[in-house]
Chains A and B, each alone.
Chain A
Amino acid sequence: DVKVTQSSRYLVKRTGEKVFLECVQDMDHENMFWYRQDPGLGLRLIYFSYDVKMKEKGDIPEGYSVSREKKERFSLILESASTNQTSMYLCASRGQENQPQHFGDGTRLSIL
């Protein structure tokens, strides 16, 4: 089974802090994704990566950046956290394009 591991289930940070969310997958997948999930809005794609050191903006990249230095790890960075970034963050990975995404358990991030 594919295992996608997010480093924290719950995280509380302060406004203005730099926040790192980490995601690791164990299936040598090329593609990795970061989403945020908010009530009534469903899943919105922040960034994705189709290879090491490659990244593409999703639908809502503002206020975020990403890093993919190794194939198995994809990090989401909030450069200067704001309260409107309080949300559930979901990481996913996928092998080839015709394969489904597999998700981690999510990180519930609160910015105070």
Chain B
Amino acid sequence: GEDVEQSLFLSVREGDSSVINCTYTDSSSTYLYWYKQEPGAGLQLLTYIFSNMDMKQDQRLTVLLNKKDKHLSLRIADTQTGDSAIYFCAGASGGSYIPTFGRGTSLIVHP
């Protein structure tokens, strides 16, 4: 089955860009998602990309997909303290398309 890997922590300064990376194993992954989880809350869908796309931009968020390397990244421009959270990458492939989630990257934004 699918395996999704993320680094556990990322620390950035307020105003800088953050880049959160994710790798997946299933080359047939059709849908790739980014979710944000704030303390004590559920997962909030941030954005998602289909495998026939290389890039998707939505305001401060840019998703890049490298299908050859099975690598997905989420760039947050002008990172703010309110962006501090855990970010989950997930991939879904054929059949039931049930996503497999990474273990999450804790983003810490300091002044």
Contact = CB atoms under 8 A, between A and B. Distances in A.
Contacts of A42: 88, 101-104
B103 A41 contact: yes
Contacts of A40: 103
Interface in A4-51: 4, 6, 9, 33, 40-43, 45, 48, 50
- Which label, helix, strand, loop or mixed, suits the secondary structure of the B interface? loop
A90 B42 contact: yes
- Size category of the A interface is 20 to 34
Most buried by B among A33, A42, A50, A108: A42
Contact of A105 (B41, B48, B88, B97): B41
Contacts of A104: 42
B74 to A, nearest CB: 15
B88 A100 contact: no
B42 A105 contact: yes
A48 B98 contact: yes
B5 to A, nearest CB: 11
Given A45-B98, A98-B97, A103 B103 contact: no
- Which label, helix, strand, loop or mixed, suits the secondary structure of the A interface? strand
A101 interface: yes
Interface string A77-112: 000000000000010100001101111111010000
B33 interface: yes
Contacts of B53: none
B43 interface: yes
B33 A100 contact: yes
A43 B98 contact: no
11 contacts: A4-B42, A43-B43, A45-B98, A92-B43, A98-B31, A101-B99, A102-B45, A103-B35, A103-B45, A105-B41, A106-B41
Interface of A: 4, 6, 9, 33, 40-43, 45, 48, 50, 56, 90, 92, 97-98, 100-106, 108
